[in-house]
Amino acid sequence: MKKIDEVIVTGHKSPDTDSICSAIAYAELKNILNGGGYKAMRAGDINKETEYVLNRFEMQCPDFIEDVRTRVCDIEIKKIDGISGDISVKEAYLKMKKEETVTLAVTNDEGYLDGIISIGDIAASDMDVYDNTIVSKANTSFKNILDTLDGKLITGDINGHFSRGKVFVGANTPDMMDDYLSEGDLVILGNRFESQYFAIEKGVKCIVLGTSSTVSPIIKRRADEKKCIIMSSPYDTFTIARLINQSMPVKYFMSSGDILTFSIDDFTNDVKETMAKNRHRYFPVIDESGKYIGQISRRSFLNTGKKKIILVDHNERNQAVNGIEFAEITEIIDHHRLGNIETINPVFFRNQPLGCTATIVCEMYDENNIKIEPKIAGILCSAIISDTLMFRSPTCTPKDKSTALRLAEIAKIDIQAYAEEMFTAGSDLASKSTEEIFYSDFKKFNAAKTSFGVGQITSMNNNDLESIKPDISKFMDNLLAEGGFDMLLFMLTNIVDESTILVFKGARGKEVVQVATDAVSNDNETVFVPGMVSRRSEGAHV
């Protein structure tokens, strides 16, 4: 259950091919160097291009992780089986001693929580009850009574329940008991024929004999006729009277309303806060289907650390997986500008002015003399082709191109033909919703007290780009109206002729675009920019 020691390697929340493939390849490198313990994961949905790449090289898509805060499933859950509500208070107490706990979960046959019983509830059942009808009010089974008293059945059917009457100690003669003993009672007696016979005739439901007493054949036969249960216990009358309350079922004393439970998916920082407001020492934990699986206490958090994370292809906090501020970042591998990620401890930070994170990862394989297998070479090559738009991006360096060509040889692919196949797969805009298109490669930034987002979609067909422009424009208007952004920019990039239709929204959108591109807009929301294929210019990595 505990997975806190696993190191997660992940890209940003709007993962592109570089983000996903670099995470997979770097996790593989770290596992080779360290003998395991690293897992590639994704912080968002993959796009069609990345899906094509993974399928092409038979690589499994990384699991999705929405939030990297520690959850209940990441800490030690004490595995204590739930108990039936029908077991005796005594049996529950003995289980508490064995399991070294003060709380037990009461569950039904399907494993769902019916209630909880604590050591305080058990104490109350013995100390706070002064009612000689309590055992029958609790609908106590005769089997519980027999087991609690370490008894032996002499006659009768113990499959039923003691459901009416009182518990009575028959210390007097029959004529003295006449005013106290009633039909349906349970009476504790000694080895006296007259008292036994009288109790049976009065219609008692059960007779408990102390000190392992026996009965005559006459008494046994008459008890059978009157359907009276007779059992004997090795204990004396005083001890039997003291123990019999412990035979009552725990469901009579358990707490069943508004039970505080925690799910395995609950975040530990929220759990700690809730625990601090409650007096209980142990709390039941339920799984995804609502079934009970164990307990946690405040001590469960003593050795709990933060999740360890390696970030690839980004170092901006608002692009990182949710909850990153509660995680321990151990490494950052990136090729973008320096962002605003803050860490408590020093980290390994490798940032190079290259066109793709995958180029850096490939370098690290080489530096550690690790052979790059064909499948890893294939996805790393795909990442470089994607991020550099087949070497057309202004941020593409000779190192990116030479690395991609070498990886293509290892993967045994024709880089030109493969790039066309990959871009075509990613350009299938007709099958995507406007929201999917917008967020397929979208990043949020903060600069000069301005919050802005930049998205991009690429295609090899200008008609496809023109057809989705109106819907993208409307989607941006709605997103801007919701708040959270001062400005939005979206690039509709044609890979073939290396041009972009830039859609801009926001108070300073037109001004920023005009300064950045020297292009003039005719409709105050779009501008055609020849030669633009990347969010990044050669002078500014963003």
- DSSP 8-state code for residue 399: H
Residue range 272-281: mean pLDDT, rounded: 84
The side-by-side arrangement of strands in the sheet containing 262-263 is 262-263, 282-286, 292-297
3-state secondary structure of 490: strand
Query: H-type helices in 391-522, by residue range?
Result: 398-411, 415-426, 434-439, 462-481, 509-517
Would you say how long the chain is, in residues? Answer: 542
Q: Which range scores top for mean pLDDT: 12-21, 462-471, 490-499?
A: 12-21
How far apart (Å, rounded) are the C-alpha atoms in residues 287 and 22? 33
The 3 state secondary structure assigned to 401-416 is HHHHHHHHHHHCCCHH
Q: What percent of the chain has pLDDT over 70?
A: 97
Contact between 460 and 494 under an 8 Å Cβ cutoff? The reply is yes
The pLDDT, as a whole number, for residue 1 is 40
Q: If pLDDT is split at 50, 70 and 90, which confidence band does 534 have?
A: confident
Segment (H or E) for 210: none
What's the whole-number mean pLDDT along residues 115-142? 88
Furthest CA-CA distance within the chain? 115
pLDDT tens digits, 381-438: 999 999 998 898 888 999 999 999 999 999 999 999 999 899 988 877 777 889 988 9
Write down the pTM of the prediction: 0.69
Q: Are 38 and 431 in contact (CB under 8 A)?
A: no
Output the pLDDT for position 4. 52
Domains of the chain in start order, with CATH, are 7-70+306-426 (3.90.1640.10), 74-126+252-301 (3.10.580.10), 139-247 (3.40.1390.20), 429-530 (3.10.310.20)
Average pLDDT score over residue span 188-214: 94
- Mean pLDDT, rounded, for 284-309: 89
Q: What is the pLDDT of residue 541?
A: 35
What pLDDT is stored for residue 61 in this prediction?
Answer: 97
Q: How many alpha carbons fall within 13 Å on the CB side of residue 369?
A: 0
The overall average pLDDT reported for the chain is 91
> Which distant-in-sequence residues (6+ apart) come within 8 Å of 353 by Cβ?
335, 395, 397, 541
List the beta strands (DSSP E) in 43-144.
Answer: 63-64, 103-107, 113-118, 140-141
pLDDT of 537 higher than 70: no
